[in-house]
């Protein structure tokens, strides 16, 4: 039987994964392999070849191509596919949504209608696909009365994904991103609640939402600020940029006994942060090979926030964003090693 096109690509990425030793030192590789397991071919997961670590129905994936994770879940779902996302410009992701709808999967997508820096026809293209398939329902973000629908989460038959990447070619296959694959039924039910409330333009009752979920603009700022303020030992932030003046001030006031590390993309505005904090605290990652687009905060090596929210006032206060707080020590240990690798760059 011929493998689906995205599984064939996965074989290529397996070769890349095997070659990790080229870009990580041998000691780190040994530590890495002692911590992770490899998901191989089986009837449920397809031909996925990816490094992963698990905790109570949650798996965290790093490094491109996280698009393979999304493609696998979309390919194997046949009952429902829900998604709220900022951009869907990748042709293969568009084709996968169309194919799911053609096969009778109930596809419902909420999509930002006017994404900044993207061509305006991305929404129109997806809308044309939806018009062709009766099982495909597309809804814009205008009813939310927010600046942007910038969340990036998806709900399948028995799983869900919260990720930092849009469904773009760069986000799925090139950028430094994170993807959280969820099988916990309670969190999946929570995500369905959030999705349905937004689609119906009804208010969200945070008391009905799992405390591990962070929803902008409802509680993002309070959660992020309290996480930073509560740090006792360390703050590691790996994110595209930090523009919010309140957070910058809060980070600047961090107790000098607390280890503070800010790993940022090499976007132009971040150079000022490196000057402001000093290169021992803030570094910019060279995007000549991969652009740093992820959004993560690790506090005291105990609480890891992964989500769609940039650290800007607009993102925290005006957009619909979604993140999840991970507390599993094994996952956090792997994230720490990942952060340390890029911090050395």
Model pLDDT for residues 277-303, shown as the tens digit of each residue: 999 999 999 988 899 999 999 999 999
**248 has a pLDDT exceeding 50:** yes
Give the pLDDT confidence score for residue 43 in this predicted structure.
Answer: 25
Q: Answer whether residue 31 shows pLDDT above 90.
A: no
Task: CATH number of the domain at 161, please.
Answer: 3.30.870.10
The pLDDT value recorded for residue 58 is: 86
Please state whether 64 falls in left (phi above 0), alpha (psi between -120 and 50) or beta.
beta
What are the distances in angstroms from CA 216 to CA 83, 149, 177, 201?
A: 16, 10, 20, 15
Is the domain of 233 the same as that of 322? yes
Q: Are 158 and 191 in contact (CB under 8 A)?
A: no
Residue 36 lies in a domain: no
What mean pLDDT is predicted for residues 51-78? Answer: 80
Within-domain flag for 244: yes
Domain boundary at 163, 190, 208, which?
208
pLDDT of 59 reads 85
Instruction: For residue 123, count other CB atoms closer than 10 A to its CB.
Output: 21
Same domain, 112 and 202: yes
Domain membership flag for residue 64: yes
Is the domain of 160 the same as that of 193? Answer: yes
Task: Indicate yes or no: pTM above 0.75.
Answer: yes
How many domains does the chain divide into? 2
Given 208, 223, 257, which residue is the final one in a domain? 208
pLDDT of the residue at 7: 52
Has residue 33 been placed in a domain? no
User: What are the tens digits of pLDDT across the range 83-111?
Assistant: 999 999 999 999 999 999 999 999 999 99
Q: Do residues 148 and 254 both lie within one domain?
A: no
User: For position 4, what pLDDT does the model report?
Assistant: 59
- The angle, 0 to 180 degrees and rounded to 10, between the axes of the packed helices 329-343 and 26-35 is 160
b/e burial code for range 125-152 (CB count within 10 A of at least 16 → b): ebbebbeebebbebbebeebebbbbbbb
Residue 319 pLDDT > 70: yes
- Say whether both 145 and 232 belong to one domain: no
Residue 310 lies in a domain: yes
163 & 279 share domain? no
**Range in 204-218, 220-234, 239-253, 326-340 the model is least confident about:** 326-340
* Least confident residue range of 108-122, 196-210, 230-244: 108-122
DSSP per-residue letters across 23-63: TS-HHHHHHHHHH-EEE--BTTTBT--EEE-EETTEEEEES
Whether residues 187 and 233 fall in one domain? no
Same domain, 154 and 227: no
User: Is a pLDDT exceeding 90 seen at residue 23?
Assistant: no
- The verdict on residue 89 lying in a domain is yes
Counts of helices then strands in the chain (DSSP H, E): 12, 17
Which residues constitute the domain of residue 311? 213-343
Taking alpha carbons only, the member of 150, 201, 200 closest to residue 171 is 150
- Mean pLDDT computed over every residue of the chain: 85
pLDDT of residue 9: 54
pLDDT of 57 above 70: yes
For 157, list phi and psi in degrees, rounded to 5.
-60, -55
**Residue 144 resides in a domain:** yes
Burial of 154 (0-12, 13-18, 19+ CB in 10 A): buried
Is residue 43 assigned to a domain? no
Q: Indicate the residue among 184, 208, 232 that finishes a domain.
A: 208
Query: Where are any strands of DSSP class E within 104-258?
Result: 106-111, 136-140, 152-155, 160-163, 178-182, 213-216, 234-239
Whether 67 and 135 share a structural domain: yes
Q: Tell me the sheet residues that pair with 238.
A: 263, 296
**Cβ 117 vs Cβ 89: under 8 Å:** no
Query: Are residues 63 and 199 located together in one domain of the fold?
Result: yes
Please tell me whether residues 193 and 298 are part of one structural domain.
no
Two tokens, residue 49: 């070849």
* Higher per-residue confidence, 333 vs 35: 333
Q: What is the predicted pLDDT for the residue at 122?
A: 83
């Amino acid at each position: 039987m011929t493998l689906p096109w995205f599984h064939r690509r996965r074989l290529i990425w397996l070769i890349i994964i095997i070659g990790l030793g080229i870009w990580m030192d041998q000691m780190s590789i040994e530590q890495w392999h002692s911590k992770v397991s490899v998901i191989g071919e089986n009837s449920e997961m397809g031909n996925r070849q990816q490094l992963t670590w698990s905790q109570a129905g949650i798996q965290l994936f790093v490094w491109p191509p996280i698009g393979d994770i999304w493609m696998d879940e979309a390919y194997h779902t046949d009952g429902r596919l829900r998604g709220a996302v900022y951009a869907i410009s990748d042709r293969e992701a568009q084709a996968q949504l169309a194919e799911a709808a053609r096969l009778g999967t109930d596809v419902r997508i909420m999509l930002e209608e006017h994404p900044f820096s993207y061509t305006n026809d991305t929404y129109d293209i997806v809308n044309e696909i939806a018009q062709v398939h009766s099982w495909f329902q597309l809804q814009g973000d205008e009813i939310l009365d927010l600046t942007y629908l910038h969340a990036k989460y998806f709900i399948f038959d028995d799983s869900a994904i919260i990720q930092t990447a849009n469904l773009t070619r760069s986000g799925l296959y090139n950028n430094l991103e994170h993807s959280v694959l969820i099988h916990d039924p309670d969190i999946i039910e929570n995500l369905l609640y959030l999705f349905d409330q937004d689609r119906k333009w009804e208010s969200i009752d945070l008391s009905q939402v799992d405390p591990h979920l962070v929803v902008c603009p409802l509680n993002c700022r309070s959660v992020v600020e309290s996480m930073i303020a509560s740090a006792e030992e360390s703050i590691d932030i790996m994110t595209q940029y930090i523009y919010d003046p309140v957070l910058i001030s809060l980070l600047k006031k961090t107790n000098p006994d607390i280890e503070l590390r800010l790993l940022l993309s090499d976007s132009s505005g971040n150079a000022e942060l490196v000057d402001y904090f000093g290169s021992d605290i803030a570094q910019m990652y060279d995007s000549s090979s991969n652009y740093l687009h992820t959004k993560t905060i690790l506090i005291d090596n105990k609480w890891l926030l992964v989500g769609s929210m940039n650290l800007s006032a607009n993102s925290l206060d005006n957009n619909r964003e979604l993140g999840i707080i991970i507390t599993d020590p094994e996952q956090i240990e792997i994230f720490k090693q990942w952060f340390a690798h890029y911090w050395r760059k």
